[in-house]
Chains A and B, each alone.
Chain A
């Protein structure tokens, strides 16, 4: 075999002459050169002669084929060897085919051999070597291509997955899935999108996605959504989206920015139609609200129905208690009375609660005087206080004396808190603090606090305090009675008054602080402005005169008598009254004259302004005479005696109102307005 390989000297003489020095030893060793190449090549190689006998094998082949020894392989018939060796070196199974094909085609032939378990892949190459058109050798190489094979497989797989996804996205009809380019223009379109939105692919590609939004959102929402998607990695939104035909559907939209190699290539947009789900939700909510309202209405009606006979029973009981009862009877009646009152209280609570829950509760807007209400509630509890309990109140002097609010409901909250505080305080104190927390142009914010040194609220109960039917004393031997509705009612009432309610522990060792706020509107009408403000207004020099249209209208056809002995004051008063629109003003220079002028039938005057100190008959006596003649004309005292209490005494003596001298015009307008109203009511009651 070495000989046959050595018979190839023809290749060598073509070398350039400069290398003659080295040619000589190579020429001598040309067989060993081929041997060296083929035995040492790193590519596993077998060389066969034309009769397919193995004439050379490389060390690398021996190694990969599982450790055959060279001397056992050389000289073997290739087919025999392959047949034997293929059991432990799989690619040899393909070797025969490669060699055969190479012989047939007279060209190098390569095929791939993949082991059955797919773990290894081999490339088998047969290279026929010819000289003078006759086959001399076949060189066969076996190469491990497992890695390349694996890569190829993966690539194929990836391509097929991409394709699957593309088909899937394009055909799915339950979601609109499409891409936007980085500026928000539609780049792809799927069947779902076409179904949802009604645009065909040709119509929509290249259009900006704001086309799907309603006019109220189109300008602001799309750019914001893209911005948010970039910022947060995704954005989700629910809202109305519009179809090509203008109809709308309730959509859930998810927009995700898509990056390739860290470069934004666009946004993926997935839209779902939630119209049906939304409809179902709305129906559920409506059904729930309806049933809850019905329940509350039922409660309200029932409580109302119970309350009426309850009142009857309690009034009958009061009458019964007034009759002669012996001691055991009295005791029983008292028990009924007490239980009846508790029951009534419970019913009232339930009625309030159910009204509040059904939303049929309204807060009235009367003119209320906060300090008066607080004081009157306080007085009730002061009367019934326990001996060991100290009751105190502190009212902010800035509290409004007139504001718009619901006095009954405001009182109800204070009463409830005071009642709790006194109920749970055996000794120590209960304080009522009311202050003006805030004030703006339109309203006052009143903070009311009830501070006690009672048993306090256990930690952990505070959260549920204002929930309905909560009582932290749920022990079998309940010491304190109640429905557990009180605070929840207070909470709703406070909220209806634009305020809040809250609790905090009393830092003074033990006890509770319950507080609530109420926002009360400022009173705008002239006649309700409180006395303090009037004073301030009258002192303000540069304020322009407020319009007196009201009084000017009211003054038409009204007759006024001024009883005043000082001519200067007469003149000023007449002028002032004429300025206010009273064109019929009579004068009396003393009390006697005033009585003579006023006591006539029918009473000639709508208002009498009466000076107090006058000759012959003073104002008070004159008023007495006029009243004893059954003349009910409003009489307004005019006095420079600014002593406190004196003014009240004039009212006690039959006068209607009073005004101090010097007479302030604004104040006079108010007093005249009131007096005229009173006069109008009087003449309505007693016509003629």
Chain B
């Protein structure tokens, strides 16, 4: 267990620095009534895990159905919660999903040529979002001393 002790600093966990915005996550941690138990932030983070799994599932279905509008909404939805937790990488990928779903490029400024191009980009972005989610999930579980 020695390697799991981080003195309460999530940013000291490998992989944290580029996937988590310290100030935003810190703000969530400050809402904890008990710094040992961290009930509140833990529940939020674990809720997010569930929400992310569900949303990725819905994204997969929508991708199969080629439902761009739903994909955009799902992207926006997950962007909101990942932003709140300061999970920057996941948030950025979700924003891309939101834009591609609107048949725009990744910054949301230019139109894409076709639905197919959008779907292709969506598939890649969803895959990237999942990977980034897994990575940050590991960091967060480590932070909450969950080795499962």
| Interface set of A (CB-CB < 8 Å, partner B) | 538-541, 545, 565-569, 571-572, 575-576, 579, 611, 613, 615, 640, 643, 661-665
Q: Which residues of B contact A545 (CB under 8 A)?
A: 30
Residue of A nearest to B25 (CB): A662
Q: Which residues of B contact A640 (CB under 8 A)?
A: 76, 79-80, 83, 91, 95
Closest 3 CB pairs of A and B: A568-B81, A566-B80, A662-B83
Inter-subunit contact A566/B47 (CB<8 Å): no
Q: Which residues of B contact A541 (CB under 8 A)?
A: 22-23, 26
A643-B73 Cα distance, complex, nearest whole Å: 17
Inter-subunit contact A538/B81 (CB<8 Å): no
A53-B81 Cα distance, complex, nearest whole Å: 154
Contact-residue bracket for chain B: 20 to 34
Inter-subunit contact B47/A662 (CB<8 Å): no
A572-B28, A640-B79, A662-B27 given; 20 more Cβ-contact pairs under 8 Å: A541-B26, A566-B51, A566-B77, A566-B80, A566-B84, A568-B47, A568-B84, A568-B85, A569-B84, A571-B47, A572-B31, A575-B40, A579-B31, A613-B77, A640-B95, A661-B80, A662-B24, A663-B84, A665-B27, A665-B30
**Given A572-B31, A662-B24, CB of A643 within 8 Å of CB of B83:** no
CB A563 to nearest CB in B, in angstroms, measures 13
CB A303 to nearest CB in B, in angstroms, measures 57
Q: Which residues of B contact A613 (CB under 8 A)?
A: 73, 76-77, 80
A539-B26 Cα distance, complex, nearest whole Å: 11
**Given A640-B79, A661-B84, A663-B84, CB of A568 within 8 Å of CB of B51:** yes
Which chain B residues numbered 62 to 80 have a C-beta less than 8 Å away from chain A? 73, 76-77, 79-80
Inter-subunit contact B27/A566 (CB<8 Å): no
Q: Which residues of A contact B31 (CB under 8 A)?
A: 572, 575-576, 579
Q: Which residues of A contact B48 (CB under 8 A)?
A: 568
Residue of A nearest to B22 (CB): A541
- Scoring B residues 100 to 119 as 1 if CB is less than 8 Å from chain A, else 0, what string do you get? 00000000100000000000
- Scoring B residues 16 to 37 as 1 if CB is less than 8 Å from chain A, else 0, what string do you get? 0000011110111011000000
Inter-subunit contact A538/B80 (CB<8 Å): no
CB A88 to nearest CB in B, in angstroms, measures 125
A541-B9 Cα distance, complex, nearest whole Å: 12
* Among B22, B30, B73, B84, contact of A662 (Cβ-Cβ < 8 Å): B84
Which of B83, B85, B95: most chain A Cβ within 10 A? B83
A201-B26 Cα distance, complex, nearest whole Å: 84
Q: Which residues of B contact A571 (CB under 8 A)?
A: 43-44, 47
| Interface set of B (CB-CB < 8 Å, partner A) | 21-24, 26-28, 30-31, 40, 43-44, 47-48, 51, 73, 76-77, 79-81, 83-86, 91, 95, 108
A567-B44 Cα distance, complex, nearest whole Å: 9
Q: Which residues of A contact B81 (CB under 8 A)?
A: 566, 568-569
A559-B84 Cα distance, complex, nearest whole Å: 23
CB A258 to nearest CB in B, in angstroms, measures 78
* Among B21, B26, B77, B95, contact of A565 (Cβ-Cβ < 8 Å): B77
Residue of A nearest to B78 (CB): A566
Q: Which residues of B contact A569 (CB under 8 A)?
A: 80-81, 84
Q: Which residues of A contact B83 (CB under 8 A)?
A: 640, 661-662
Residue of B nearest to A660 (CB): B83
Q: Which residues of A contact B95 (CB under 8 A)?
A: 640
A576-B44 Cα distance, complex, nearest whole Å: 13
A566-B44 Cα distance, complex, nearest whole Å: 12
CB A549 to nearest CB in B, in angstroms, measures 17
Q: Which residues of B contact A539 (CB under 8 A)?
A: 23
Which of B22, B44, B81: most chain A Cβ within 10 A? B81
CB B22 to nearest CB in A, in angstroms, measures 6
8 contacts between A and B (CB under 8 A): A541-B26, A567-B47, A568-B44, A568-B80, A571-B43, A572-B31, A572-B84, A662-B21
Residue of B nearest to A638 (CB): B80
CB A680 to nearest CB in B, in angstroms, measures 27
A62-B75 Cα distance, complex, nearest whole Å: 147
Inter-subunit contact B51/A567 (CB<8 Å): yes
Q: Which residues of A contact B23 (CB under 8 A)?
A: 538-541, 664
Inter-subunit contact B76/A662 (CB<8 Å): no
Which of A579, A615, A662: most chain B Cβ within 10 A? A662
CB B40 to nearest CB in A, in angstroms, measures 6
CB A458 to nearest CB in B, in angstroms, measures 59
Q: Which residues of A contact B77 (CB under 8 A)?
A: 565-566, 613
CB B111 to nearest CB in A, in angstroms, measures 16
Which of B24, B27, B28, B73: most chain A Cβ within 10 A? B27
Which of A538, A540, A566, A568: most chain B Cβ within 10 A? A568
CB A581 to nearest CB in B, in angstroms, measures 14
Q: Which residues of A contact B40 (CB under 8 A)?
A: 575
CB B92 to nearest CB in A, in angstroms, measures 11
Q: Which residues of A contact B51 (CB under 8 A)?
A: 566-568
Q: Which residues of A contact B79 (CB under 8 A)?
A: 640
CB B89 to nearest CB in A, in angstroms, measures 14
Q: Which residues of A contact B108 (CB under 8 A)?
A: 643
CB A666 to nearest CB in B, in angstroms, measures 9
Q: Which residues of A contact B27 (CB under 8 A)?
A: 662, 664-665
CB A548 to nearest CB in B, in angstroms, measures 12
CB A576 to nearest CB in B, in angstroms, measures 7
Residue of B nearest to A573 (CB): B84
Q: Which residues of B contact A568 (CB under 8 A)?
A: 44, 47-48, 51, 80-81, 84-85
A664-B86 Cα distance, complex, nearest whole Å: 11
CB B14 to nearest CB in A, in angstroms, measures 19
**Given A541-B23, A541-B26, A611-B80, CB of A662 within 8 Å of CB of B86:** yes
Residue of A nearest to B27 (CB): A665
Residue of B nearest to A661 (CB): B83
Q: Which residues of A contact B44 (CB under 8 A)?
A: 568, 571-572
Q: Which residues of B contact A663 (CB under 8 A)?
A: 84
Residue of B nearest to A543 (CB): B23
A453-B96 Cα distance, complex, nearest whole Å: 55
Residue of B nearest to A578 (CB): B31
CB A109 to nearest CB in B, in angstroms, measures 125
A621-B146 Cα distance, complex, nearest whole Å: 43
A132-B130 Cα distance, complex, nearest whole Å: 162
Q: Which residues of A contact B73 (CB under 8 A)?
A: 613, 615
